[in-house]
Structure 1
Amino acid sequence: MRHSASICKADGDMADGSAYIPSRAMRRQRIEPALEPLSGPPPSKGRPWRYLVALASCLLAVALWGTVYPVYGRAMRTVDPLTIGVIRNIIIALASAAGLLALEGPSAFKTTRREFWLAAGAGVIGVVGFGILTFVGEHLAGTGSNAAKLTAVYAMALMVLWELASLIQSTSLPGLLELALVLGAYAGLALMVDGGGVSGLFSLQGILAGGLVLAGTACWMWYTVRFRKFSAWSVLKFSAITFLLGTGAFTLLDVLAIASGILPVPHVSALLAGSPAYLYLGLLTGVVPLILWNRSARVITPVNALMFMSVGTAVTVLIANHMDGYREDAATMIIGGTAMILAIGLYSAMQYRAALLRPSPAPGAARNSKGAPRSTPAAPAPLR
C-alpha cells in the first residue's frame, strides 16, 4: 500500500513489515470515506421521502426508455439505426445544453483539463458505446418485438452477472439474498417475455445481436457509475457536457461511415417524415429520463438504479407485443409482474437499509472532490 508508513504512524502503529490492521477510528476516518463514492453517501435518516422520490424518478425514467425501442423499430424501416441514434443524441445534447445555459449560465461550461477528459471518456463510452452496440444489435434482431425481448433478456442477464461477482467477493448472507431477489426479478420478467416467444433470440443471429446489446448495456452501466467522479457537478451539467462530447464523437463516426459507403446516405424526405418520431425520441424519451436517471442514481446508488432496468424492458415488451398484434395471457402477466415488482421493492429496501448502516459524515462537514468528508483537525495528518 502506498504511504503505508505514514498511515501506520498516524494510527499509532509501527510499519516494521508486520501485517497492519487499521484501528476502528482509522477505518472510519480514512478507508470508509474513500470507498463512499462507489456506493453513494448514506441517505438522510430523517428524510426517507427523498429516497422514495428518487426511486419514483428512476421508475419513471426506465418506463419512458421502455417506449423507445418500438418507436425506434418503426423508424429503422426508412433510416439506418446509427443515423437515428445520432439525431436523437443531438437533440438530447442541445436540449440539455440549452437548459444548462439558462439555469446555470455560461460559466457552467467551464471545466478543468482533468474534468474535460473524464467527461469525454464517460460521454464517448456512454453515448457511442451504448448507441452503436445496442442499436446495431437491435437491427440484427429484426422487428421491434424481437429487439425488445432481446434487450430484456440480455440486460437482466448482465445484472445477474453483476450480483454474482459481488457475491463472490463478499460471500455474505445479504449478498445471497440480493442475488435471489435479482433472480426473482429476472424470473418475473422472463414470464412476461416468454409469453411472446423468445426461441428466435437464441439462434446464431440472436446470440450475436444479444452479445452486442450486452456490451452496449455494460457501457451504459459504466457511464452511470462514472457519475461518482463528478460529485461537484450538478446533474444537468454532467448530462449536458458528457452528451455534448459523446454526441460529437458519435456524429463524426456516422459521417465517416456514410462518406465511406458503409451506411447509405439518408434521404431528406425520409428524415422529414420521421421528424415527429425523432422529437419524441430526443425529448420525451431522451432528455427527461436522462436527467431523472442521473439524479436518482446519485441518491439510490447506480447499482440499485440498474435494478430498475427490468421495468423498462417489461414496458418495451408490452408495447412491442401489442404493436405486433400479440395479446398476453392475463394470469402470466399478473404473476410475472407481481414477482418482478416485489423483488425490486425488497432489493431497494435492502439497499436503503445498508446505506443507513454506513456511518454518516458530521453535519456541515466539508467534502473533497470525490464526495468524501474532509479530514477534521482531530483526524490523522493527511497523506503526503
Structure 2
Amino acid sequence: MTQRSIWPAILLLLLTTCSWGGMFPVAKPMLESMDPFTLTLIRFVPTSAGLLLILFCVEGRQAFRFDGRLLRLIFLGTLGFACFNLLAFNGLQNTKPEHGAVIMATQPMIAVLITWIYRGLRPGTFTLASIGTAFAGVFLVITGGDIERAFGGGKVLWDLLFFAGATCWVCYTLGAQSFHDWSPLRYTAITSLFGTCSIAAITLGLVAADQVSLPEWSTLVEMRWQFAYLILPTGIMAVLFWNTGIKMLGPINGVLFINFVPVSAFTIGIIQGHSITAAEVTGAGLVMAALIANNLYVRSRIRHSLDSSPTAN
C-alpha cells in the first residue's frame, strides 16, 4: 500500500469509529421517550433497505441469491443485527453510554476467546494477559471502583447486556468467514434484511402482547435528526466505510481504530455534561492499552515468522 492510499483508509476508519462512539450518547436520550425495541426497528428498516439498494446498484440482481444457505443467513442476521442491537439498547436504557462504548472496544479480545473455544486455537500467553487486562479495565469501568455498590444495585447486569450484545456481533462477524465467496457488502446487506425481519417479529410480538407500544408520529418527527444519525452515519455509511477501510489497510491495522469508539463516546459525554469518574477513564485506558499492546505483539510474531521462513532468505 502506498503512502497516498493509506490516508483515505485512515479517514474512513476514523469516521466510522467516531460515529459509532457517538451512537450511544445520541440514542440514550431517545430511550426516555421510546422503548429499545421500536427504536431498533425504526432504525433498521431504512438502514437495511439502503444497504439492499446499494447492493443492487453495485452487484446487480444475482447478488440476491442465497446459494442454499438461507437458514445460516437468517441465523447470522438475527445474531448480528437483532440480538446485538436489542441487547445493547436495552442495556443502554439503564446504564451510561460510555460504558457501552468501552465494552464494544473489547470485541477483538472476545473474538480471540471465541476462536479458542470453537477452533481450539489457544492464544499466546501475552495475548491472554492482554485479554485479562482489557476485561479488568471493563470491570473497573462498569463498577466505578466500587464493586459492592455496583453489584448491590444490580447496575452491572445492564452492562452485561452490552457484553452479551458485543459477543453476538463478534459471532456474526466471524460467521462471515463461511461466506468468503461473497463480498462484504453482499453479506452485510442480505443478513441485515433477515436481522430486520427478526427485529420486526420480536417487536410486533411484544406490541401484540401489550408489552411495548408504537410511538406517536409527533415523537418520530421530534427525533428525526437523531434517527437520521443512527441510520446514515452509524448504519449505512459506517458499514461501507469500515469494510472499505479494513480492505485497504488490513485487519491488523484496521482493528486498532476500534479504540476511537470509547474516545469519541467519552468526549461527547463530557460535552453533554456527564460526570466521568477517574475509575472509568482508567478502565477505558486499560482496555485501549491492552488492545494496542496485543496488536504490537501480533505484528512482531508475524514479522518474526516471515523473517525465519526459508523463502525470506
Same fold (TM over 0.5): yes
Alpha carbons of structure 1 residues 276 and 321: separation in structure 2 relative to 1, 3 Å: same
Does 1:252 find its partner at 2:252?
no
| Equivalent residue, structure 2, for 1:137 | 91
User: Partner of 2:169: helix, strand, or coil?
Assistant: helix
Shift of 1:313: 2.5
Separation in 2 of the partners of 1:190 and 1:208? Answer: 12
Q: Which moved more, 1:344-353 or 1:217-226?
A: 344-353
| Equivalent residue, structure 2, for 1:147 | 97
Does 1:122 find its partner at 2:76?
yes
Separation in 2 of the partners of 1:338 and 1:157? Answer: 12
Alpha carbons of structure 1 residues 353 and 292: separation in structure 2 relative to 1, 3 Å: farther
Does 1:110 find its partner at 2:65?
yes
| Equivalent residue, structure 1, for 2:43 | 88
The 4+ residue runs of structure 1 with deviation greater than 2 A are 46-63, 152-172, 176-191, 196-205, 291-301, 303-311, 324-329, 335-359
**AA aligned opposite 2:205:** L
| Equivalent residue, structure 2, for 1:284 | 233
Does 1:73 find its partner at 2:28?
yes
Of 194, 198, 209, the match for 2:158? 209
Does 1:62 find its partner at 2:17?
yes
Does 1:351 find its partner at 2:305?
no
Alpha carbons of structure 1 residues 127 and 336: separation in structure 2 relative to 1, 3 Å: closer
TM-score, normalised to structure 2, is 0.77
Does 1:241 find its partner at 2:190?
yes
Alignment check: 8 A CA contact 1:62 1:309 kept: yes
Separation in 1 of the partners of 2:189 and 2:115? Answer: 32
Separation in 1 of the partners of 2:111 and 2:98? Answer: 21
Of 263, 268, 278, the match for 1:314? 263
**AA aligned opposite 1:147:** P
Alignment check: 8 A CA contact 2:102 2:287 kept: no
| 1:8-19 → structure 2 map (5 Å cutoff) | none
The CA RMSD measured in Å over matched residues stands at: 3.9
Name the structure with the higher helix share. Answer: 2
Alignment check: 8 A CA contact 2:110 2:167 kept: no
Size of the aligned set, in residue pairs, is: 301
Cα offsets for 1:30-52 (capped at 9, x unmatched):
xxxxxxxxxxxxxxxx8799899
Shift of 1:123: 0.5
User: Partner of 1:67: helix, strand, or coil?
Assistant: helix
**AA aligned opposite 2:294:** Y
Cα offsets for 1:338-381 (capped at 9, x unmatched):
7766654443333345456479xxxxxxxxxxxxxxxxxxxxxx
